Amino acid sequence: MPSLDLPPLSYAAGTAKLPGSKSISNRMLLLAAMAEGVTEIHDLLDSDDTRVMLTALASLGIGLESKGANCWRVRGAGGVFPVKQGELFMGNAGTAIRPLTAALALSGGQYRLSGVQRMHERPIGDLVDGLRQIGCDVRYAGKEGYPPLEIMPASVKLAAPIRVRGDVSSQFLTALLMALPLTSETAVIELTTELISKPYIEITLNLMARFGVQVEREGWQRFTIPGRQRYRSPGVLHVEGDASAASYFLAAGAIGGGPVRVEGVGKNSIQGDVRFADALAAMGAQIVWGENFIAASAPATGKLKAFDLDLNHIPDAAMTLAVAALFADGKSVLRNIASWRVKETDRIAAMANELRKLGATVEEGTDSLAVSPAPSLRSHVAIDTYDDHRMAMCFSLVALGGVPVRINDPGCVAKTFPHYFDAFAQITAPVIAIDGPSASGKGTVAQRVAKALGFHFLDSGALYRLTALAAMKADVSLDDEAGVAAIAATLPAEFRNDRIFLSGEDVTEAIRSEAVGNGASKIAVYPAVRAALLDRQRAFRRFPGLVADGRDMGSVVFPDAPVKVFLTASAEARALRRYKQLIEKGMPDNMRPLLQDIVKDLEARDARDAARPVAPLKQLPDADLVDTTTLNIDQAVAAVMDRVRRRLPFFNPPVA
């Protein structure tokens, strides 16, 4: 089984851009498929679960057209599905199989729905019972109460209310609410038990209203859908960021110092899981709310506080609290989480097993979990994830305790957040930002430090040189800021070991030419070019860490880098190094007068670089100064490594 080893982490800070909400994405897709007209959905989550829904809708005759990154155009059927027979494989996507079961039961066709083995262990009997009450013909093809299912054409009668339980999964109620407008009669749903996960029903009702269908609610026990309503496309919709996914990053900020800011959800979100931030606040975390963001930082003083909370309203995000409890000052209790038992795995049992591996004392109840943290976390624990995306994401937070941790089967995050670990690295992977004047040795030192640590290496200057070279090859004028920026945004560049490639061509030497260097200096001042390269540079931040060499690495690209070094040397020492490089390249050793010219050139360049309006040469206030005037390259590397050891106390790099 593949695994991912996370290094010990000492902090978390930065910004995380959330993927689209799974709950909203799949609801919007199904509503758009049943609506009259064409709906364009932007920011749709790209994950296993949404692909399951898209594949199912396409096989049912719904017109789907990809309009680029995370944007789909859905041509609705204006009611029931046009394809009346089919076999649908639903993977382990509960947000797809449950609402589709109800919609297909009212479509007058013959269908079979199946999934992976775990899906066949997840109950669906309460939904089937509700559908059978109105005459739907839904049959079990395997174990009673569980998928796979067979659906046959049937006559539907809505004379009496549909009575359904609400204490197993709110998705059963969601499925019925979304499907019943396919009929022309008034429909009533009555819950026979308390409804769990009420915020998810709020999402459903909100989205149905956007498609023109109103539901009358009497508390949380009775729902009436007046007859003669039809879904009608609202035209263009945008999917909110995934509030459940926000919980991992917000918890990272609360545990690792912060601030960590998540973008895509905010104080006006329709998702109940944003209330996870309130739970963190109860633990003492500092929370800031914005229109489209939430930010979290560690308590102003002391550790996170233990908690005792009813978490029925945020069952998915509550899993993150179970891991955050490892960092609290005492015993924490999570209550009213019985729905965990019927999720992708039995999450109460799975969570208890894995927390105990880390040294915690865990008391497992039928609908609760009590977690008492150990004095210190056990190191090098291998976390099993049970093919459950949320287990993998939750336990990544353990590394913030300063211990390495192994995540087994990390690929299971593809269910909702395929690039989660890259996003997690963006706020936690250590960055060593190295800057300094020309000929200070920063490039060579940075490469050597990266190799010693086993970190990735970024030569930001090479990206600007590559952009200039690519523009020249494409006959784009270097005076054309917009044209060069467009090239920078899609730069087909690769760094393999010590070689640099552009569109598959080795250009390691070509980008060092004087013409390319002059071009790079010219385009590096363009704001549009710098903005286009910003995300590309940040993408180099991956586990176990990154050494970044460049002028604005510590100020703009990675302002939260825990290690910043300003490498310098006297102009005379730098000139002598440059002179020796020229000798090594074949210049005759009788050019001693050239040395003073090199000194003057370097001093003039220092002055120009310091006066630049964009990314000027200067030592940042939080950067360590390393003067290499009297140091050789090995000594310079050793000096930087000493700073790394002091700035990253949880990280134990080798002695240079």
Per DSSP, the three-state class of 78 is coil
- Outline where DSSP puts E strands in 146-205: 149-152, 162-164, 187-191
Q: In what order do the strands lie in the sheet with 236-238?
A: 63-66, 72-75, 38-42, 236-238
Rounded distance between C-alpha atoms, residue 456 and residue 495, angstroms: 10
Rounded distance between C-alpha atoms, residue 355 and residue 398, angstroms: 10
Q: Which residues are catalytic, by number?
A: 316
Q: Point out which residues pair with 332 in neighbouring strands.
A: 371
Q: In what order do the strands lie in the sheet with 368-372?
A: 308-310, 332-335, 368-372, 361-364
Quote the tokens at residue 603.
Answer: 């001093």
247 touches 317 (CB < 8 A): yes
Angstrom distances, CA of residue 600 to CA of 68, 350, 445, 594, 595:
52, 67, 24, 10, 9
User: Given the structure tokens 């999450």, which residue do they identify?
Assistant: 347
What is the rounded (10 degree) CA torsion for 412, 413, 418, 420?
-140
Per DSSP, the three-state class of 349 is helix
Rounded distance between C-alpha atoms, residue 32 and residue 188, angstroms: 23
Burial pattern 12-39, b for ≥16 Cβ within 10 A else e, equals: bbbbbebbbbbbbbbbbbbbbbbbeeeb
427 touches 254 (CB < 8 A): no
Identity (one letter) of the amino acid at 108?
A: G
Task: Give every CB contact of residue 561 below 8 A, 6+ residues apart in sequence.
Answer: 430, 431, 432, 433, 548, 553, 554
Burial pattern 414-445, b for ≥16 Cβ within 10 A else e, equals: bbbbbebbebbbbbbbbbbbbbbbebbbbbeb
Cis amide bond preceding 259, omega within 30: yes
What is the rounded (10 degree) CA torsion for 199, 201, 206, 207?
120
What is the rounded (10 degree) CA torsion for 326, 329, 331, 335?
-70
Question: Helical H runs in 474-623?
Answer: 481-489, 514-523, 527-538, 571-584, 594-611
Rounded distance between C-alpha atoms, residue 596 and residue 239, angstroms: 62
